[in-house]
């Protein structure tokens, strides 16, 4: 039972729901518990009120006419971080993909209707206590600030108070702890990652549960993921191949430990400031000896744009990770996903199987051997791909000393060269015309 003394009596909570009965009921229960409730009957109304009122937390309905909860959440996150304004999504839809979508858009938590008020109040207390992050604690760990979020949790920079060691703390959202399948998946991620000790894999240091919160303590990487790095522009061929070689080394360590990662993509490859690449996020990894399809929510497909065709059918071996690595290399060299994200899944699967993309259609500057290597990794049939990580490493070493690569061509340099050549040709044409007719 949460008492008046257990909560922050000054906290203001905005309740956004188009159903007047639910809106009034939730608001009254919050006020009875000591909160100040601000009610909004639509997404548009909520955004207007946010400009006029200071709000400490938002309880946001998903399904609303006009701006729905997801759209409101996007607007909110454009102005307020997850720690500055926590948002708990409220919905009657109990679907895993909805939970993942909400968390990826920046929701802090997810609650189902009909509302369990005691559970809601406990979650609110947790998120309000983490508001601002610094100084909050979770067991032996002192939270410093938020560094990222994904479908399976929020990651914080933290310090182990026992030895003052800096680390990353991944926390399973409280809403997902209500579903045993998500808890099992989270604990499996920790158990699989704990097997590994390799410089190109993020190390897991600790895992467990404190009160009702599950966590994984990991090595803190001082750097960015590939998606953040490439957002500034494609990498040079030499840099991309160097990172790919490190990723392959990490994947070989996984294979030797009997683990399939199954979600290699730019967001799951961290690169430190010193240039060391590390594989992270074992949320949908599984043991290589496992048989049959994995039917848990969100498991078995991975990120559609980067998953192999056979993995999308629920099967596959380590060569599926090789395919995903090829897609990631495609992204590093072009700055584009290998397949458009706005297409239906059926279209993407068809193109993976029958019409794989040609990387030179996106970056014509790439040396032919590099383009051929990417094409082999992204072959539709596993038997057509490079067949071992040792072979991948050998080919990458050969490409890194290839004359076309050592000359240092990069997408930016190719663009400058193309513009310079175009300008020179245009100037030459003008001179010719003036000489001819002048």
Q: Which residues are annotated as catalytic?
A: 263
DSSP 188-252: HHHHHHTT---TTBPPEEEEEEETTEEEEEEPPPSEEEHHHHHTT-PPPHHHHHHHHHHHHHHHH
Neighbours of 81 (CB within 10 A): 15
Class of residue 349 by CB neighbours under 10 A (exposed 0-12, middle 13-18, buried 19+): middle
Which of 268, 263, 270, 335 shows the shortest CA–CA distance to 304?
Answer: 263
- Would strands 213-218 and 204-210 be described as parallel, antiparallel, or unpaired? antiparallel
Distance CA 320, CA 336 (A): 20
Strand partners, 57: 13
DSSP secondary structure letters along 283-342: TT-EETT--S---STT-SS--TTTS-HHHHTT---HHHHHHHHHHHHHHHHHSS-SS-TT
Burial of 49 (0-12, 13-18, 19+ CB in 10 A): middle
Q: How far apart are CA 282 and CA 304, in angstroms?
A: 16
The partner residues of 149 in beta bridges, in order of sequence, read 154
Place of tokens 């994904």: 150
CA–CA gap between residue 212 and residue 101 (Å, rounded): 23
Rg (CA), the chain: 25
d(CA 229, CA 221) in angstroms, rounded, equals 14
To the nearest 10°, report the CA torsion of 38, 39, 43, 49: -40
Where does residue 307 fall: left (phi above 0), alpha (psi -120 to 50 degrees), or beta otherwise?
Answer: beta
Distance between CA 257 and CA 193 in Å, rounded?
A: 10
Q: How far apart are the two ends of the chain, measured CA to CA in Å?
A: 93
Rounded Cα distance, 424 and 438, in Å: 20
């Amino acid at each position: 039972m949460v008492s008046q003394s257990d909560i922050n009596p000054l906290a203001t909570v905005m309740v956004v729901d188009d159903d007047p009965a639910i809106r009034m009921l939730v608001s009254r229960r919050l006020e009875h518990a000591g909160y100040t409730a601000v009610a909004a009957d639509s997404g548009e109304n909520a955004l207007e009120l946010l400009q006029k009122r200071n709000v400490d937390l938002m309880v946001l309905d998903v399904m609303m006419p006009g701006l729905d909860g997801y759209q409101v959440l996007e607007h909110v996150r454009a102005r307020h971080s997850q720690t500055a304004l926590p948002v708990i999504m409220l919905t009657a839809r109990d679907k895993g993909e909805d939970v993942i979508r909400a968390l990826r858009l920046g929701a802090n938590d997810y609650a189902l209707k009909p509302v369990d008020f005691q559970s809601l109040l406990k979650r609110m207390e947790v998120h309000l206590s983490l508001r601002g992050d610094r100084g909050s604690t979770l067991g032996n760990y002192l939270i410093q600030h938020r560094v990222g979020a994904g479908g399976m949790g929020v990651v914080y920079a933290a310090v182990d108070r026992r030895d003052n060691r800096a680390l990353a703390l991944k926390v399973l959202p409280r809403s997902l702890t209500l579903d045993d399948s998500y808890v099992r998946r989270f604990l499996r991620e920790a158990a699989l990652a704990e097997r590994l000790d390799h410089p190109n894999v993020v190390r897991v240091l600790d895992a467990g549960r404190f009160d009702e919160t599950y966590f994984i303590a990991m090595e803190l990487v001082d750097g960015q993921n590939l998606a953040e790095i490439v957002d500034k522009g494609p990498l040079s061929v030499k840099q991309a191949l160097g990172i790919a070689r490190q990723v392959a080394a990490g994947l070989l360590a996984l294979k030797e430990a009997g683990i399939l990662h199954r979600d290699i993509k730019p967001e799951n490859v961290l690169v430190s400031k010193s240039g060391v690449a590390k594989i992270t996020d074992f949320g949908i990894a599984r043991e290589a000896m496992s048989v049959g399809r994995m039917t848990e929510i969100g498991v078995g497909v991975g990120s559609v744009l980067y998953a192999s065709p056979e993995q999308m059918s629920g099967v596959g071996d380590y060569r599926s990770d090789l395919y995903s690595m090829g897609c990631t290399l495609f992204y590093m060299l072009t700055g584009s996903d290998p397949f458009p994200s706005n297409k239906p899944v059926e279209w993407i699967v068809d193109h993976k199987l029958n019409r794989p993309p040609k990387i030179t259609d996106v970056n014509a500057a790439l040396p032919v051997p590099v383009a051929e290597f990417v094409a082999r990794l992204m072959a539709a049939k596993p038997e057509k791909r490079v067949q071992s990580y040792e072979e991948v490493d050998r080919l990458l070493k050969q490409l890194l000393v290839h004359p076309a690569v050592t000359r240092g061509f990069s997408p930016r340099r190719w663009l400058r060269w193309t513009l310079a050549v175009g300008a020179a040709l245009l100037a030459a044409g003008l001179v010719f015309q003036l000489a001819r007719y002048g």
